[in-house]
Every structure is written in structure tokens, then in C-alpha cells.
Amino acid sequence: MIPSPARRVADPDDPVVALFRDVRERDRIGRDGVFIAEGLSVLTVLLTRSSLETLAILVEETRAARLPVLAARGTAPLYVAPQDVLDAIAGFALHRGILAAGRVPARVPLSALPPGPLRLPVLIGLANHDNVGGIYRSAAAFGAVGVAVDAGTAHPFYRKAIRVGAGAPLMLPTYDAPNDLVPALAAAGITAYALTPRADAAVGRTGLAPRSAFLLGTEGAGLPEAMIQAATPLAIRIADGVDSLNVAVAASLALHGHALQHGLG
């Protein structure tokens, strides 16, 4: 299928680009199920490595001819605009010059997890979009089956989370982490490891179950104590005098440790 020609936009109030208007102040998540992807690397993931629906693409007009990946957009309309119009539409100086809008997928229930060995990071109350995006990126790098997210975690389809995650939220399934998380994981034959510095068992010194989930709490407070007690506590050993690791770094180490034992899949 030959994509339709690009349409030039000269007026930032043109209704055809309403999806992209004021993306910094009016992130679409939670409003109408639309996500905004920014930059060439994320656009490439969306068009070539993701099954998600692309609704529209907006590009600075001098760049469009230098982006062969746009040939993979299918039926998604392409709009081009001068830089000043693009900035006025987005509501900030859009140095990357590329925005795409797509449809947020529904979260997948834990009951739909595939059989066999797997690793799954589970995010509990993570409010920082950078950390959420970073964990998705590590999950993709270390062959995780997806990422599970609870109701208190920042939305993984927020524009910054997608960008920091190098587009990984567009590739990996997002599973729903229910209130009865540890029993739900056990019902799927998965061992839940609660990442906490207080644990005796440690990554790199402990055999990890083939089907493992790594529970990751927000920075500072960490995981709820009841969740730690319900799961298998697991630590990452660090030098004395250092309080803790960034949660995205801790996730990377746990996922890498599991991959060393059970392969990347």
C-alpha cells in the first residue's frame, strides 16, 4: 500500500493536528486513550517493531524527505509543518521535530502470561516517569515477557516514559498488577521476589526460579511491608555507606541476573 501524500499545516490551530496540540501541558493519557511518541528512534520503533495503531504523524517539513521510515506508516496520515508552526502546535520548542500519536492498548491480565521460563518486572507505586521508562527499556534488553504495572504507578504511555524507554513501552505487553498480586502470580506458577536491601538472599548468589517476577517499589518508601512478607525477599548487595540503588538500576540487575541463569529467551 502506498502511503498518501503529506499534508502541509500552516496554521497551528488547524483541527487536523488537534491530537498534537499542547502535548506538554495536556498529555493525552487518561483523557482519550491516545499516546504521543517523540523523536526518530521512538517513531522507528512504533512503525517497524510495534503492533500498536498509529493515528497520525507530525514532522518538521524539511525533515520529512530524509525519513525513509515514514514509508512504513501505512494508512496513518502524515502532516508536515514549518518549525515555528510545529513549536506552536506542541506548545514548546520541539527540537526533535517529530511527533506521532497512537492508540494506548489495554493492559493484559496476569492470567494471559505465557507458559515456560519468564522474567517479569512488577512496578508498585512508581511515580517517576523516567524510572518507569528506564525499567521498560531494561525489560526489553534482558528479554522480559513484559512489564506489570499497578494502579499507583505513573502511566508507561506518558510521552516522557516512552522517550526514556527508547520506545520499549510500545513493544512490550503491559500487564495489570492486581491488588492480590502475590497470590495471582503464584496461581500462574511464578515466584514473586520482593526487591529490598534487608533480604538475606541476593541477586548473583541465589538460584532464581525459572518463572520469576521482581517486585519494585517506589524510591524512598520501597515496597509495602505486607508485600515483602508475602513474597520472597531479594537484595542487591552494595557497598557500605550507600543507601540504595535507583529503582531502574535495581530492576536491570535483577533482570540481568535472571537472564544469566535462564537465558534471554
122 alpha carbon, distance to own chain's centre: 12
* Whole-structure pTM value: 0.94
Structure confidence by residue, pLDDT tens digits, 216-258:
998 778 899 999 999 999 999 999 888 889 999 999 999 999 9
Which range has the worst mean pLDDT, 28-32, 149-153, 157-161? 28-32
| CATH hierarchy code of domain 7-103 | 3.30.1330.30
Q: Domain residue spans in the chain?
A: 7-103, 110-262
Looking at residue 4, its pLDDT comes to: 73
Beta strand extents in the chain (DSSP E only): 7-8, 34-38, 54-60, 78-81, 98-103, 118-124, 147-149, 174-176, 191-195, 211-217, 232-234
Kindly state the percentage of the chain with pLDDT values over 70.
96
Strands, sheet with 7-8, edge to edge from the N-terminal-most edge strand: 7-8, 78-81, 54-60, 98-103, 34-38
| CATH hierarchy code of domain 110-262 | 3.40.1280.10
